[in-house]
């Protein structure tokens, strides 16, 4: 096994140009990114900096214009066919005519998992996201936060070693959002999955991530990668700790491109 195949994501010199009537839009240029197995990475940056585009290239929903993308050492296209990752977007995207259990079961049916095994797996997933009492409900009978939890359970159903999430909590109120952030860190640790998480919330990126990837627009590119190093324990106490505020400040300064050279101040 080569070193690369142990990485969840490896992007080398990735660029994306969208030809439009008004001319070419360089959505991404020269993107270099490595996401380790089990690592939690957030992509953060202002609107239009290419976060969603990068996630879509990783998921092989769009082709890159230049460069290469490998998912667990495979070309992105092969990884998609092998369903090596789960996806959750801002809209939960549940099927309204299917119950919670049947929505979660969808990828397992596509994998042709036998009924008995499937039912056991759905029960396990419902437990994982705290929805055991709601498996018979339909999406329109659930709150937004619960719908997102169903979407996360569905994304995890086939035990992917990589989760791709584009502002999955963007439409939720702050309380629900913080609760689901805690849940997501627990789930990611329990399943050992790597996560690439798109957000424009600085506190959210810091709370969730091992590293925060800061991006900038026109052209979309990575400008800085900030290690978070807050340890394994992600709980509410962390949100009030000085170390947490320090990381929030570091990400904010990187985003504003005004990072102070503190070494020079001393």
Ligand X SMILES: Nc1ncnc2c1ncn2[C@@H]1O[C@H](COP(=O)(O)OP(=O)(O)O)[C@@H](O)[C@H]1O
Give residues in contact with Mg ion (CB under 5 A): 52
Applying the rule CB under 6 A, the residues between 15 and 44 that interact with ligand X are: 18, 20, 25, 27
Applying the rule CB under 6 A, the residues between 217 and 236 that interact with ligand X are: 220
Shortest distance, CB of residue 133 to Mg ion, whole angstroms? 33
Assess contact for 198 and 43: CB atoms under 8 A: yes
Task: Give the DSSP per-residue string, 34-90.
Answer: EEETT-EEEEE-STTSSHHHHHHHHTTSS--SEEEEEETTEEHHHHHHTT-EEEEES
84 CB burial (10 A radius; 0-12, 13-18, 19+): middle
**x/- site string to ligand X, residues 42 to 81, per CB under 6 A?**
---x-xxxxxxx----------------------------
Hey, is 266 helix, strand or coil? Answer: coil
**Count of residues touching ligand X (by CB under 6 A):** 13
Of 8 and 165, which has the nearer Cβ to Mg ion?
Answer: 165
Of 41 and 128, which has the nearer Cβ to Mg ion?
Answer: 41
**x/- site string to ligand X, residues 87 to 126, per CB under 6 A?**
----------------------------------------
Q: Report phi then psi at 219, rounded to 5.
A: -85, 155
Of 22 and 237, which has the nearer Cβ to ligand X?
Answer: 22
CB atoms within 10 A of CB 177: 18
Shortest distance, CB of residue 32 to Mg ion, whole angstroms? 20
Q: Which does 29 bind (CB under 5 to 8 A by kind): Mg ion, ligand X, none?
A: none
48: Cβ contacts below 8 Å, ≥ 6 apart: 217, 218, 220
Shortest distance, CB of residue 83 to ligand X, whole angstroms? 23
Residues in touch with ligand X (CB under 6 A) = 18, 20, 25, 27, 45, 47-53, 220
């Amino acid at each position: 096994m080569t070193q690369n195949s142990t990485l969840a994501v490896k992007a080398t010199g990735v660029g994306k140009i969208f030809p439009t009537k008004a001319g070419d839009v360089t959505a991404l240029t020269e993107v270099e990114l490595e996401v380790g197995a089990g690592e939690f990475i957030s992509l953060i940056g202002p609107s239009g900096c290419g976060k969603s585009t990068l996630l879509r290239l990783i998921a092989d929903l769009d082709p890159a214009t230049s460069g290469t993308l490998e998912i667990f050492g495979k070309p992105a296209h092969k990884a998609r066919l092998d369903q090596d990752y789960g996806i959750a977007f801002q809209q939960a995207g549940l099927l309204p005519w299917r119950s919670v259990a049947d929505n979660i079961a969808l990828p397992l049916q596509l994998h042709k998992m036998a009924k008995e095994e499937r039912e056991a797996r759905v029960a396990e997933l419902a437990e994982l996201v705290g929805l055991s009492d709601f498996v018979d409900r339909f999406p329109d009978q659930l709150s937004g936060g619960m719908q997102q939890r169903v979407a996360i359970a569905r994304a995890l159903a086939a035990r992917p070693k990589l989760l791709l999430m584009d502002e999955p909590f963007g439409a939720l109120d702050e309380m629900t959002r913080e609760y689901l952030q805690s849940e997501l860190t627990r789930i990611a640790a329990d399943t050992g999955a790597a996560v690439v998480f798109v957000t424009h919330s600085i506190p959210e990126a810091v709370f969730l991530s091992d590293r925060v990837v800061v991006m900038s627009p026109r052209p979309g590119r990575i400008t800085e990668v900030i290690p978070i190093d807050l340890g394994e324990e992600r709980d509410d106490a962390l949100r009030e700790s000085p170390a947490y505020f320090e990381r929030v400040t570091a990400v904010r300064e990187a985003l504003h491109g005004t990072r102070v050279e503190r070494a020079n101040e001393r």
